[in-house]
Each structure stands twice: as C-alpha cells, then as structure tokens.
C-alpha cells in the first residue's frame, strides 16, 4: 500500500547517546498540550506544530512552530511558560517545526539559563536540502549556529534513546512499509551524492505507561505505521494506547486510510488526537474505520490536550 502524501538547533553537537532498549519505569502522569497547529481554540493557528509534554513532573517541548512568535503568543494566551522546560525535541528539519527554536531559547533563557538548553535531533537533520529547482538550503545549520550562540547544545541520535525514565525517542525510523509521507521531488545532499529526501531524521516521542504506549508525532514523515512497527521491535512490545500529533495523512486516499486504520487497530490504539498535517477529514475517517468514537478520536487544536487520566480534551473548536 503506497501512501503518497504532501509535504532546525544548537551549542556543541554531541555524539549519539548510546542507550539500549531496557526495562524502564512506566510513567504515572502524562499530559500533552498542543501549542501550534492549524486550528486554534485559544491563541493563533498556523501550518506548524509544537506540543508541551509533562511526564511525572518533568517537561519537554516537542517542535517549535512555523513562525518566530507563534508558540510564544500561544503560551501567553494559554497562561503557560517554558521557563521550567530544559529539553527540546525536534522531530525533523522542516521550518514549520523548527523556526521558533532560537527565539524561544532567547526568550526563556533570560529568566532561567537552562531553559530550552538541550535539543535532541535525529541523525540527518543538518544535511543540506536541494529543492526541485536545484537551490541548496543549509537552513538547519544556520538555526544550529543561532542556537549555539544562545548557549544551547544539540544531541544528535541515530537509535532509540531514553531521555528520561519511561520516555524514549525512536531515532530515525526504518521504512519497512511503503508509506511515502514526504514531498516528492526534493533531495538531500549526502556524502554519497544527492538522493531523494525521505526526511530520514524523522522521529517520534514514546512514553511508557501502565496502560500502554503514548506516542507523540511531529509530522510522521517516516509513516505512522513504520514508526509504531519500529517502536514495537526496538523499544517496547506493549500495546499502543494513544497516538497524538501530526500524522501526514491529509492527502491520503480512502484505501490508504483504511489500511492505516486497520494497522492502528492491530497495535491496540484506543485514543487518537490528530493535529497539523493529519487532516480533518482523515481524522474522521480513521475514527470510523478504526472503530473509535467522538470521545476517543478528535482533531487537535491549539490549547487541546491529552491526559493519561482524563483522555482527550479538544476544548470547543474540534467538538
């Protein structure tokens, strides 16, 4: 089944964290709040993604939005702050997920020097990208330099890596299923020459809980099913309880959505909050096909949240 779907960081790049999958403490408390996506119940919408994650009192920011100030403005609208957040995850290189990194680091480091001071990225994120017209972009290296100058550090990973007890990054995901969740025609410049840009660094955040795994995606360019397959083989064989974030299904056909929904069922998915590039209609079709409900499968908006205890709170706009 082919899924043909449409379509950055900083102070010293450290070597890959060498963490092997092992038994870890299951999280007791998980809360995820969307800070950037297209729909906005509070604040401002954009084609981008960011989410604030809290696991047993420790906080992580996954992605940083498409504009310099969107996440900052939405934090104010929601009465939140990132001053007590040390760790950032960038799911992949695209500007709609990485533009806010440097501005946010400057803003919150002024109050607390360690705020947003460590950023994890997948191997390949800093490779130059080549557009269809041949133009070469080194944008992520520019972002990295800006982040470095602001006192940040980057940890680049190439394998599943634990960032705290019970919380993992997938690292780059093997593409065992033929999901093609990237923009055709773009290329990436490697040591072996220019090759198709499949967004090789794309990765997701995985939280182990007693109810199963909670998986947070930025865009799902590696494919949601490829990613869950990788998690099952490399991190945990537990059922996948919840899938949150951007799944890049907005351009999927009915057949592609049916295949995806069937696979999600096989992983045991009980709750889905689809934001950003998932697509509104795609969320509704998956709800029907995966036999979920209006309470367990919803569209994500700015301010919407997921809690392990309370489930999905879509606020008003996505009801």
Give the model confidence (pLDDT) of 153-200 as tens digits. 999 999 999 999 999 999 999 999 999 988 888 899 999 999 999 999
Q: Is the dihedral of CA 255, 261, 264, 265 positive or negative?
A: negative
Structure token pair of residue 58: 């420790």
CA separation for the pair 51, 301 (Å, rounded): 11
**How do the residues of the chain divide into helix, strand and coil, expressed in percent and rounded to 5?**
20, 30, 50
Structure token pair of residue 47: 């084609």
pLDDT of residue 19: 43
pLDDT of residue 182: 86
Q: Residue 49 above 50 pLDDT?
A: yes
Q: How many domains would you assign to the chain?
A: 1
**Strands of the sheet with 297-299, listed across from one edge:** 161-164, 167-169, 205-209, 212-217, 240-246, 271-275, 297-299
pLDDT band at 317; cut points 50, 70, 90: confident
- Tokens 């604030």, residue located: 52
At 281, which CATH number? 3.60.15.10
7 lies in some domain: yes
130-155 tens-digit pLDDT: 998 999 999 999 999 999 999 999 99
142: which DSSP letter? H
Cα 319 → chain centroid:
23
319 lies in some domain: no
Report the chain's terminal Cα–Cα distance, integer Å: 31
Q: Which domain holds residue 73?
A: 3-312
């Amino acid at each position: 089944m082919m899924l043909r779907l449409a379509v950055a960081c900083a102070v010293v790049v450290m070597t890959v964290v060498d963490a092997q999958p092992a038994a870890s403490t299951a999280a007791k408390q998980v809360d995820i709040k969307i800070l950037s996506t297209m729909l906005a119940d509070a604040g401002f919408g954009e084609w981008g993604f960011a989410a604030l994650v809290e696991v047993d009192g420790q906080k992580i920011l996954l992605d940083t939005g498409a504009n310099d100030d969107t996440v900052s403005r939405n934090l104010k609208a929601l009465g939140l702050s990132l001053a007590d957040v040390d760790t950032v995850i960038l799911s992949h290189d695209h500007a709609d997920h990485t533009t806010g990194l440097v501005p946010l680091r400057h803003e919150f480091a002024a109050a607390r020097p360690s705020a947003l001071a460590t950023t994890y990225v997948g191997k390949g994120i800093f490779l130059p990208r080549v557009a269809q017209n041949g133009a070469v972009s080194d944008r992520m290296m520019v972002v990295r330099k800006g982040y470095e100058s602001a006192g940040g550090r980057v940890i680049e990973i190439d394998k599943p890596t634990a960032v705290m007890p019970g919380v993992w990054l997938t690292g780059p995901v093997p593409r065992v299923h033929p999901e093609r969740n990237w923009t055709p025609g773009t290329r990436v410049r490697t040591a072996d020459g220019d090759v198709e840009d499949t967004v090789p660094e794309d990765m997701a955040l995985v939280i182990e809980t007693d109810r199963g795994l909670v998986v947070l995606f930025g865009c799902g360019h590696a494919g949601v099913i490829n990613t869950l397959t990788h998690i099952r083989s490399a991190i945990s064989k537990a059922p996948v309880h919840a899938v949150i974030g951007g799944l890049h299904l907005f351009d999927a056909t009915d057949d592609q959505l049916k295949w995806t929904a069937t696979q999600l069922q096989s992983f045991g998915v009980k709750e889905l909050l689809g934001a950003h590039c998932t697509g509104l209609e795609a969320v509704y079709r998956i709800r029907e096909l995966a036999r979920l409900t209006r309470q367990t499968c919803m569209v994500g908006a700015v301010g919407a949240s997921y809690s392990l205890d309370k489930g999905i709170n879509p606020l008003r706009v996505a009801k």
